[in-house]
Amino acid sequence: MNDHLPNDSHQDVHEGTLAQRLERCGLPGFNRACDYAKSQNLEASVHFEQIDPSLTRLSLSVRRQGDAKACTYQVLAEEKKQRVVHEQYFAADQSTRHEETLPAAINDMVMDSRLEAFFSRAFNMLLPYLKERHPPGF
């Protein structure tokens, strides 16, 4: 399912869950990054889906026009295990970065810094709008 905007109907169902936090915190940041990528003439899309009651995925896919493969950044939130997995795939060298974090990593500062690191490595670009959202030294 392609939910470019948060679906408020899920908020009551997932109150206090990793899925809710990912939807409220991660999804808006991924949407901003997607919009910025499009403004830079990149093809981009965001998907948010509940795979099953204990597993939620948020993903961003970005490619240069004409590229066969996209670079992807996905976050998997596993409620039962209380873990969050960040996986970034870089099409240019076909490498994958995989990192498991604690649920506390679902916050604006961490998500924004990971998005910027992803864009920096994948497209040699920063996300300038983040300077407005975070203090100097971000």
Average pLDDT, consecutive stretches of 10 residues, N- to C-terminus, the chain (138 residues): 40 64 95 97 98 96 95 97 96 96 91 94 92 61
pLDDT of amino acid 132: 76
96 by DSSP, 3-state: which? strand
pLDDT of amino acid 21: 94
Buried b (16+ CB within 10 A) or exposed e, 111-120: bbebbbebbe
CA dihedral 64, 123, 108, 87 (to 10 degrees): 80
User: How far apart, in whole angstroms, are the C-alpha atoms of residue 24 and residue 12?
Assistant: 12
pLDDT of amino acid 13: 31
pLDDT of amino acid 136: 57
CA geometry: angle at 137 spanning 93 and 131, to 5°? 75
What residue spans define the domains of the chain?
Answer: 10-125
Residue with tokens 């990192």: 99
pLDDT of amino acid 7: 41
pLDDT of amino acid 31: 98
Nearest to 22 by CA among 92, 97, 101, 91: 101
pLDDT of amino acid 2: 40
Q: What is the DSSP letter of 4?
A: S
CA dihedral 61, 64, 68, 73 (to 10 degrees): -20
Verdict on whether the full-model pTM lies above 0.85: no
User: How far apart, in whole angstroms, are the C-alpha atoms of residue 46 and residue 66?
Assistant: 19
Q: What is the pLDDT of residues 55-84, one digit of tens each?
A: 999 999 999 999 999 999 999 999 999 999
